[in-house]
């Protein structure tokens, strides 16, 4: 996954460079804007690598936190963004929660993400929303990390 992210970041930088070359001398403002985008390329590639490394550490911890990873969305942008779609499968005892968090000591992103998933699990146990059920827990990783829970009507009935 890390190689794919690095390759996509390099492709984005190359496209920015080609667009800058095509802008010509008469389009100073556009060339300057593209130049700033191209200058961010190395920063973006490094950020993508860091996020990929963090994600590779985080995925096994998500399973230990009682969740199943159902998918990953990768946005190659400046800054890059990753969304991990999960579903809560089981409760995790307090002692196991503490042990998991201790095993992630020093890994800020993973620790924060797992803490957030535990908070969401606690909320899901208490929240009653009629026929709405939590169908998707989305762990957003990036500059502004967060967790979203999507509640929807139960599964559609097949006639």
The domains of the chain are located at 2-153
* pLDDT at 77 > cutoff 80: no
Beta partners for 150? 136
Q: Rounded distance, CA 60 to CA 81, Å?
A: 19
Question: In this structure, what token pair is assigned to residue 57?
Answer: 């550490």
* pLDDT at 5 > cutoff 50: yes
Query: Which pLDDT score is estimated for 154?
Result: 67
Question: In this structure, what token pair is assigned to residue 158?
Answer: 């097949």
For residue 94, give every residue at least 6 positions away whose Cβ sits within 8 Å of its Cβ, in sequence order, or none.
none
Query: Which pLDDT score is estimated for 100?
Result: 96
């Amino acid at each position: 996954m890390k190689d794919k992210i690095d390759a996509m970041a390099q492709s984005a930088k190359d496209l920015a460079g080609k667009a800058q070359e095509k802008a010509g001398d008469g389009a100073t403002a556009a060339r300057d804007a593209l130049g700033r985008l191209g200058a961010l390329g190395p920063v973006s590639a490094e950020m993508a690598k860091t996020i990929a490394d963090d994600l590779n550490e985080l995925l096994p911890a998500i399973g230990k936190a009682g969740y199943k990873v159902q998918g990953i969305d990768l946005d190659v942008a400046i800054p890059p963004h990753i969304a991990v779609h999960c579903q809560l499968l089981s409760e995790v005892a307090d002692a196991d929660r503490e042990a998991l968090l201790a095993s992630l000591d020093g890994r800020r992103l993973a620790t924060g993400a797992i803490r957030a998933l535990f908070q969401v699990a606690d909320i899901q146990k208490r929240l009653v929303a009629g026929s709405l059920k939590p169908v998707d827990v989305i762990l957003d990783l990036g500059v502004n990390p967060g967790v979203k829970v999507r509640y929807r009507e139960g599964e559609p009935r097949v006639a």
